[in-house]
Structure 1
Amino acid sequence: MNEKTPAMSATDTPSAATLTRHADAETCSDPSSVMTLLADSDGTAGGFTSYRSTFAKGAAGAPAHFHTRATELFFVISGSLQVLVGEDITLLNAGDFLAVPPHTPHAFAAAPGCEADVLFVFTPGMGRFDYLRLLSRVMRGEADPKEIAESSERFDNHYVDSPVWRAALEGSG
């Protein structure tokens, strides 16, 4: 072993790898986006939660919100994503990466006139797939939006008002 590769002791147990085949991944959809559920915390020893969202041209993503326990990571695979972080709005393009720490208000949507394909990762992970399923049901009119507000603590998703974000969305319409 060299200095950069520590030896594994007899008491260390390697973590199991997480593999989700595209053909096996569950998807949730609404009229303007498709979410591909990749790995929830129960399958990653709590280490992370990940999903991929494809947004139609100009589609809304998430309103302003924050998480108290997780850092949310964004990686834009293709297209462009408009993102609020705190009070600043920025444009993420293909290949761009953003990490939003806990307690930081943020929001996102496909950039005006653009589609977006984005990989999301939450770390540490927590069971969020039920939240994404709920969002899809609400967007399709199959569930009451009050259920989202009632689940804020369970899913660590706390919505806030952002005049900056509202103005950005109004300006892009």
Structure 2
Amino acid sequence: MAQFNRAVASLPGRERIARHPHGGQVFIHATAEETAGAYGIWETFSAPGTGPSRHMHTRETEVFRVIEGSYRFWCGNEMIEAPVGSVVVLPPNVPHHWRNVGDSMGRMMGFVTPGGFEHFFVELERAEAATPETILPIQHRFGLVEIGDGPDP
């Protein structure tokens, strides 16, 4: 495996831009290739009332830091209110989801370790249409398991 021995910089205006399945914009700041597989980092923007459906990652620990807005996370049977400044760490193989529960655009930094999942957003952006038929194979490649309905946001 390659060594992670040089800085990675994501400069304003030069981010790699993709989309979340729920329509929010994603700026990718660092990839597994740039960090010798250690992690991936992105910034996610979400409109009020939006967020991913209940799912779990089979490979990664996922970390979010709320920068703007107000979020609610569900992890297993636990609900977490996450205002600005909150950090939420989500373990692999545990169903979870989140929502922007505020009344304005929200923004979070997202991290995964090990890296690689950040490419999920790029592949979704490249898909011709965001339908279950196009999304499901992408989810499988990235070890993402859709759980479906969870606790009510």
Shorter-chain TM-score bucket reads 0.7 to 0.9
Which has a greater percent of helix? 1
Q: Which residue of 1 aligns with 2:97?
A: 107
Gaps of 5+ in 2: none
| 1:4-59 deviation per Cα after TM superposition (whole angstroms, max 9, x unaligned) | xxxxxxxxx7721211112211222478522111111111110101100111222x
Query: The residue matched to 2:26 in structure 1 has which SS?
Result: strand
Query: Which deviates the most, 23-32 or 35-44?
Result: 23-32
Matches of 1:95 and 1:85, distance apart in 2: 19
The amino acid across from 1:97 in the alignment is: V
Could you say which structure has the greater relative contact order, defined with CA pairs below 8 angstroms and 6 or more residues apart?
2
1:46 aligned to 2:33? Answer: no
Matches of 1:65 and 1:29, distance apart in 2: 17
| 1:113-150 deviation per Cα after TM superposition (whole angstroms, max 9, x unaligned) | 34311000000111532x21344467xx7343322211
Matches of 2:126 and 2:139, distance apart in 1: 16
What TM-score comes out, normalization by structure 1 length? 0.76
Q: Which residue of the other structure, out of 127, 133, 136, is the alignment partner of 2:122?
A: 133
Matches of 2:61 and 2:71, distance apart in 1: 18
Q: Which residue of 2 aligns with 1:68?
A: 58
The amino acid across from 1:132 in the alignment is: F
Displacement of 1:109: 1.7
Matches of 1:41 and 1:14, distance apart in 2: 10
Cα distance change, pair 144–34 in 1 and its aligned pair in 2 (3 A): same
The amino acid across from 2:121 in the alignment is: L
The amino acid across from 2:33 in the alignment is: D
Query: The residue matched to 2:53 in structure 1 has which SS?
Result: strand
Q: Report percent identity of matched pairs.
A: 23
C-alpha contact (below 8 Å) 2:54/2:150 kept by paired residues: no
What TM-score comes out, normalization by structure 2 length? 0.85
The Cα RMSD (Å) is 2.3
